[in-house]
């Protein structure tokens, strides 16, 4: 079950050239690009692990792609996403966030039902991979 | 725009030249940098080569990406960093470098203090410099053969790899004293073979130094009184032969000190009404107060 979180997630995987074009767009607007990775695909997991600091001082896509390559070699089978942060006054928030790397198998989510007081059922989702501990999921 | 038809003879060099906008940068270089005739002529040659290369590409002739790595040798204050900055601009206008920013580093920014520290440090610097120009000052300090715990060689190896494989992403400019750079290249032939242009920056003559001072004063909106001009010419003659003379930088320092003395002098005359000219003019007394005029042995710094 292909994860559909973030921008472009309903499209096929972006090629390196397409990623480069997106990075150039971000740099043109002066946004700081950062790379994050995780092995927990739950939709409420917003803060993934940071791969290095946000690259606010890199002016060219080649440098950022080098960092992405490093991340892919270090974590070949985890989700990797690229974020662009806009630091202009009044905004100070993420402008673009898209997945650039996925594990080979994505088992997906299951529904969890919990019965509460007065036989009310609370629903939530759980990712099948989180049955296993971190590091052994993919 | 130039004709892409290989049969047509009128390849529009002027058009490409105009479109690239390189002309203004070259004119700015000629105007704002005093002297440096061999440097300027080499830069014009490089610009011409890159333009013709562009035209060849457009007409369909083969053209390898030219090696643009350079080595600037010369004494301090002769304009190496300034010219490197202009070089970055020129390369951007001609389309050989994507962003045209300059990252200036020395050995400490590239070499680490312990095992495993150098590679990430160097790679970080290279990442920042991608799309622009990497300027390495005092490049020979990277190689310290007498200290076996020195990690400079690692940095050199990473540089060599990037200079060869990512030529379209990065241009490297090394700088330093001429004789030490020659020694450095002798012990690192791989590096020397990747450098296409060796440019030497000669020391400025006294009249060139005075012209530089004139330019600086104009920019700072100051002027020298006629006596002050004579005093400053004398100052230059004396200061040049003293120790630690750093060409244009020493001139800038001297002017800053003259401004300091002018300000003190004006402050001392607090009762007197001042006009705009008084605020702008540096008098000969402001210059002659320097220690350069006192010390006959020439060992003191002014």
What's the rounded mean pLDDT across residues A101-127? 95
Q: What's the length of chain B?
A: 302
How near does any CA of chain B get to the CA of A62, in Å?
6
3-state helix, strand, coil in chain B (%, to 5): 55, 10, 35
**In chain B, what residues touch A67 (CB-CB under 8 Å)?**
127
Prediction pTM value: 0.81
A54-103 pLDDT, tens digit per residue, is 999 898 999 999 999 999 999 999 999 999 999 999 999 999 999 999 99
Q: Is A84 on the interface with B (CB under 8 A)?
A: no
CA pair distance B185, B181, nearest whole angstrom: 6
Q: Is the predicted pLDDT of residue B300 greater than 60, yes or no?
A: no
CA pair distance B91, B197, nearest whole angstrom: 14
B101-160 pLDDT, tens digit per residue, is 999 999 999 998 888 889 999 999 999 999 999 999 999 999 887 777 788 888 999 999
What's the rounded mean pLDDT across residues B30-47? 87
Residue B138 token pair: 């005092």
**In chain B, what residues touch A64 (CB-CB under 8 Å)?**
127
Q: Is the predicted pLDDT of residue B232 greater than 70, yes or no?
A: yes
B81-96 pLDDT, tens digit per residue, is 889 988 898 898 888 8
Residue B231 token pair: 């005093």
Closest CA to A71 of A21, A33, A28, A22: A33
Interface of B with A (CB under 8 A): 98-99, 101, 123, 126-132, 166, 169-170
What's the mean per-residue pLDDT of chain B? 87
Answer yes or no: are the C-beta atoms of B22 and B47 closer than 8 Å. Answer: yes
Q: Are strands A109-115 and B133-137 parallel, antiparallel or unpaired?
A: unpaired
């Amino acid at each position: 079950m292909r994860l559909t979180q973030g921008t472009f997630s309903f499209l096929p995987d972006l090629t390196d050239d397409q990623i480069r074009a997106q990075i150039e767009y971000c740099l043109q607007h002066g946004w700081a690009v950062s790379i994050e990775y995780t092995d927990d695909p739950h939709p409420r997991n917003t803060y993934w692990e940071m791969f290095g600091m946000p690259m606010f001082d890199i002016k060219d896509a080649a440098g950022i792609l080098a960092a992405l390559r490093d991340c892919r070699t270090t974590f070949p089978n985890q989700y990797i996403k690229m974020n662009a942060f806009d630091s202009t006054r009044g905004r100070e928030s993420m402008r673009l966030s898209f997945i650039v790397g996925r594990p080979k198998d994505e088992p997906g989510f299951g529904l969890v039902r919990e019965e509460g007081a007065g036989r009310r059922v609370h629903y939530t989702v759980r990712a099948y991979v989180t049955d296993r501990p971190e590091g052994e999921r993919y | 725009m130039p004709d892409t038809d290989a049969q047509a003879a009128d390849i529009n060099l002027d058009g490409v030249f105009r479109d690239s906008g390189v002309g203004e940068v070259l004119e700015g270089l000629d105007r704002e940098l005093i002297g440096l005739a061999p440097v300027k002529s080499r830069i014009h040659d490089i610009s011409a080569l890159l333009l013709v290369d562009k035209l060849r590409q457009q007409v369909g002739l083969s053209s390898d990406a030219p090696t643009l790595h350079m080595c600037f040798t010369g004494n301090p204050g002769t304009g190496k960093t300034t010219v490197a900055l202009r070089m970055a601009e020129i390369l951007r206008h001609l389309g050989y470098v994507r962003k045209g920013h300059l990252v200036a580093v020395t050995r400490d920014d590239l070499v680490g203090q312990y095992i495993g520290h150098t590679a990430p440090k160097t790679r970080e610097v290279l990442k920042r410099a991608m799309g622009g120009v990497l300027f390495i000052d005092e490049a020979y300090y990277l190689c310290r053969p007498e200290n076996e715990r020195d990690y400079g060689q690692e940095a050199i190896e990473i540089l060599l790899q990037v200079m060869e494989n990512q030529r379209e992403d990065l241009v490297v400019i090394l700088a330093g004293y001429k004789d030490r750079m020659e020694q450095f290249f002798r012990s690192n032939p791989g590096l020397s073979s990747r450098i296409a242009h060796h440019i030497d920056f000669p020391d400025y003559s006294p009249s060139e130094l005075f012209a530089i001072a004139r330019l600086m004063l104009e920019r700072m909106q100051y002027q020298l009184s006629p006596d002050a001009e004579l005093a400053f010419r004398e100052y230059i003659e004396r200061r040049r032969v003293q120790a630690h003379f750093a060409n244009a930088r020493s001139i800038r320092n001297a002017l800053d000190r003259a401004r300091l003395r002018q300000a003190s002098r004006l402050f001392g005359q607090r009762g007197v009404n001042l006009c705009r000219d008084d605020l702008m003019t540096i008098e000969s007394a402001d210059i002659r107060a320097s220690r350069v005029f006192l010390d006959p042995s020439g060992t003191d710094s002014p």
